[in-house]
């Protein structure tokens, strides 16, 4: 085997490890959170839902304020600067809110 083949095999090996680690971490998060909300009492779940909504509104207002400031300063408005991109804090809150809504609907609780 020459050095090029070794480098290619090594690169493929690292890529497979990265993919396995990434998919393993990503697949366990929703189930942990799902178990957490399934064990919550009804009032705590509703309060948690409203708290997430308030936090999402705060993030959204902050993003809007920053966008207005950027437009006034003639800066480039980038999508990645938003916390609602995939992997961002806002996106995670929206995902959690959807899981909580499903749990509230399952329990027939108005929110």
Query: What angle do helix axes 89-106 and 42-72 make, rounded to 10 degrees?
Result: 150
The rounded distance, in Å, linking the Cα atoms of 31 and 42 is 19
Confidence (pTM): 0.59
| Residue pLDDT, tens place only, 47-67 | 999 999 999 998 888 777 666
Q: Where are the domains of the chain?
A: 1-28, 40-106
Backbone angles phi, psi at 8, to 5 degrees: -65, -45
Residue 87, pLDDT score: 64
pLDDT tier, 102 (very low <50, low <70, confident <90, very high otherwise): very high
Residue 62, pLDDT score: 79
Residue-averaged pLDDT of the chain: 79
């Amino acid at each position: 085997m020459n050095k090029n083949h070794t480098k290619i095999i090594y690169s493929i090996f690292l890529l497979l490890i990265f993919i396995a680690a990434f998919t393993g971490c990503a697949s366990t998060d929703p189930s942990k959170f799902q178990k957490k909300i399934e064990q919550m009492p009804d009032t705590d779940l509703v309060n948690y839902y409203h708290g997430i909504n308030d936090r999402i509104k705060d993030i959204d207002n902050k993003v809007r304020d920053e966008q207005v400031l950027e437009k006034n300063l003639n800066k480039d408005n980038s999508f990645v600067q938003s916390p609602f991109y995939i992997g961002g804090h806002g996106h995670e809150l929206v995902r959690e809110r959807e899981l909580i809504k499903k749990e509230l609907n399952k329990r027939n609780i108005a929110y």
